């Protein structure tokens, strides 16, 4: 009898994880399709092929399912970003890796992308879940720390300006990417993630580069020179006219 209970435990745990995974996956699809409030636990259970009671064996509420979706999303984003950053040393390459990683994850489900943005800003989840002490915020800090560390390293190496505000940089970087992803989605250009990540980083880093050129470029210099030559000619003409 003891052996029977022992051997059955792994199978029960596997079944439990499988059911939990189905609930989270199905809920994510329905939140994307119907919206968080319109997707009831009864509908989630029906789509997952489970009873509603089974859902409450795994989650206390629909909000807990939502938090599970966010947690899984953050953990995947953190893992892939860390693995991608490991071999890179160049600041621009590291920023482009972070940008592309972010775009690729949030673009997997367009509807869910919009829901996640709204949720993260507290529109659908009770404020307790987004408090400073919540584990969702802890995951967010782990994730954004990858950007902070990249910027700090760029500053340490003398590539970026020293007086940049990390919080502002974080908001501009990730906020801009999420807004840009929405634009790509609406324009049907999801296939352009890599080029968009490159352009986004190019514009982002331009304001942080320590040694960016302060003098006009070749075209601007040529235009300035042409204006000066034209002015000299006009002055010479005016002098000759008076004499």
Query: How does pLDDT run along the chain (243 residues), one tens digit per residue?
Result: 334 444 455 555 555 568 888 999 899 888 878 877 889 999 999 999 999 999 999 999 988 898 888 888 889 999 999 999 999 989 999 999 999 999 888 877 655 555 555 554 454 444 555 554 577 788 888 999 999 999 999 999 888 888 888 999 998 899 888 888 878 777 877 778 888 888 889 888 887 766 655 444 445 555 555 655 555 565 555 555 555
Please report the pLDDT score of residue 241 as a whole number.
59
Which tokens in the block code for residue 232? Answer: 């000299």
pTM for the full model? Answer: 0.68
Residue 55 contacts residue 123 (beta carbons within 8 Å): no
Which residues lie closer than 8 Å to 147 by C-beta, 6 or more apart? 95, 98, 169, 170, 173, 174
Please report the pLDDT score of residue 14 as a whole number.
54
Please report the pLDDT score of residue 215 as a whole number.
43
Please report the pLDDT score of residue 193 as a whole number.
86
Which residues lie closer than 8 Å to 72 by C-beta, 6 or more apart? 24
Please report the pLDDT score of residue 235 as a whole number.
55
Please report the pLDDT score of residue 121 as a whole number.
47
How many Å apart are CA 214 and CA 37, to the nearest integer? 52
Which residues lie closer than 8 Å to 160 by C-beta, 6 or more apart? 91, 151, 154, 205, 208, 209, 210
């Amino acid at each position: 009898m003891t052996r029977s209970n022992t051997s059955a435990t792994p199978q029960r745990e596997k079944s439990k994880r499988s059911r939990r995974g189905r609930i989270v996956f199905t809920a994510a699809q329905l939140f994307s399709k119907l919206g968080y409030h319109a997707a009831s636990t009864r509908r989630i259970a029906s789509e997952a092929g489970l009873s509603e009671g089974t859902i409450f064996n795994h989650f206390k509420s629909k909000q807990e399912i939502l938090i599970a979706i966010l947690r899984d999303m953050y953990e995947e984003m953190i893992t892939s970003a860390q693995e991608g950053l490991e071999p890179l040393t160049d600041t621009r390459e590291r920023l482009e890796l972070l940008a592309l990683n972010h775009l690729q994850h949030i673009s997997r489900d367009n509807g869910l992308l919009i829901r996640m943005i709204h949720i993260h800003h507290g529109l659908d989840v009770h404020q307790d879940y987004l408090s400073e002490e919540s584990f969702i915020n802890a995951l967010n800090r782990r994730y954004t720390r990858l950007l902070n560390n990249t910027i700090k390293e760029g500053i340490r190496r003398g590539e970026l300006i020293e007086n940049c505000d990390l919080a502002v940089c974080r908001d501009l970087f990730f906020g801009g990417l999420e807004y840009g992803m929405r634009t790509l989605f609406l324009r049907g250009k999801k296939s352009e993630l890599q080029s968009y990540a490159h352009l986004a980083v190019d514009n982002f880093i331009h304001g942080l580069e320590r040694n960016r050129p302060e003098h006009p470029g070749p075209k601007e210099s040529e235009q300035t020179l042409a204006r000066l030559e034209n002015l000299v000619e006009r002055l010479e003409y005016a002098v000759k006219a008076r004499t």
